[in-house]
Amino acid sequence: MEPLTKHQGVAALLDRSNVDTDQIIPKQFLKKTGRTGYGKHLFHDWRYLENGDDNPNFELNQPVYNNSSILVTGDNFGCGSSREHAPWAIRDYGFKIIISTGYADIFYNNCFKNGILPIKTGSEELAGLMSEIRANPGVEFAVDLEKQFLSTPGGKRIFFDVEAFRKDCLMKGMDEIEWTLRFQTRIKAFESDQALNQPWLWRE
């Protein structure tokens, strides 16, 4: 994963609540085992017409949101099934940060495992961010993960909470497995010592 410390990018507005994981990445596209290639299917049923053309009425198809990397959306984002393909699709599309008032727990946890920062704000703060995007489509927001705040050209500064371990992993560009492997030498030393002094734990 890429380290995430500070980021500035176009904020795209998806003003919909209760967006579930089947809307984020429909089930018919869950056939691959890798994490890449899902971005083209993100929000597939909203994003495309039946003939495969872009749906001009879908919010994220507006040209001003091309290359957007911050998604501002409604409450309870990522509800539904626990498929990890949902954050895979979001990250593969190019979104690095999501801003909402709330997320489904499993989706929220999966975001951190895949290099995405899901920011939680209050309802009034979210409404203010949405209003700023509507007034200035294509506006760029800035996020400082180290200092834990979001700022906008309109003068808003919103502080957010993030658990220390998850913050550390994002800033180092590591998932939980990569973080654990930093201690591989110590793990092997522990296992060798245990095999010598407690051999009954190693019997097949």
The model's pLDDT over 9-64, given as tens digits with 9 standing for 90+, comes to 999 999 999 999 999 999 999 887 788 999 999 999 999 999 999 999 999 999 99
The full set of domain ranges for the chain reads 6-173, 175-204
Q: How confident is the model at residue 146 (pLDDT cuts 50, 70, 90)?
A: very high
* Percentage of residues of the chain with pLDDT beyond 70: 99
Burial class (CB in 10 A: 0-12, 13-18, 19+), 63: exposed
Give the tokens for residue 154: 């309109």
Region 191-197: mean pLDDT is 79
Structure tokens at 93: 């599309």
Bigger pLDDT: 193 or 124? 124
Those residues with Cβ within 8 angstroms of residue 172's Cβ, 6 or more apart along the chain or in another chain: 3, 179
DSSP lists the bridge partners of residue 73 as 14
| Residues comprising the chain, all counted | 204
- Classify residue 25 as exposed, middle or buried by CB count within 10 Å of its CB (0-12, 13-18, 19+): buried
Average pLDDT over residues 124-151: 98
The CATH architecture one would assign to domain 6-173 is: Alpha-Beta Barrel (3.20)
Model confidence at 168, in pLDDT bands (50, 70, 90)?
very high
